[in-house]
Amino acid sequence: MSSCAKNRFSLVKLIISDLFKSQKLSLLLVGLIVVSAISILWTTQQTRKQLFIQEQLILERDVFESEWRNLIIEENVLADPKRIEQSVNKLGMEHVLPKNETVIVIKNR
C-alpha cells in the first residue's frame, strides 16, 4: 500500500472515529435527516398512488352517471303514454268492463 492510500485510510478512520466519539449529536441529526427524507419520498409516492386511484374512480363514476342518464331517458321514452297507446291499439287490447271481468280467489290453506 502506498503512503497516500495509507493516509486516506487513516483520514477516513479518523473521521469515523471522531463522529462516533465526539460528534454523536451530529451523527444523530444526519440519521434523522436521512430518515425524514426517506419518509417524505414514501409519503409522496403513496400520495401519487392515491391520486391515481382517485382519478380512476372519478372516471368510472362519470361513466356510470352517463349510463344512468341514458337509462332514465330510455325509461321515459318507453313509458310515454302515446307509445303505450300505440302498442295497445297494435295488439288489439281493450279496456276491461266490469261485466267481462272475472275474479279468481285463491284460498290459502
pLDDT range class, residue 2, cuts 50, 70, 90: low
Total residues found in the chain within this entry: 109
CB atoms within 10 A of CB 86: 11
Reported as a single tens digit per residue, the pLDDT across 40-90 is 999 999 999 999 999 999 999 999 999 999 999 999 999 888 888 888 889
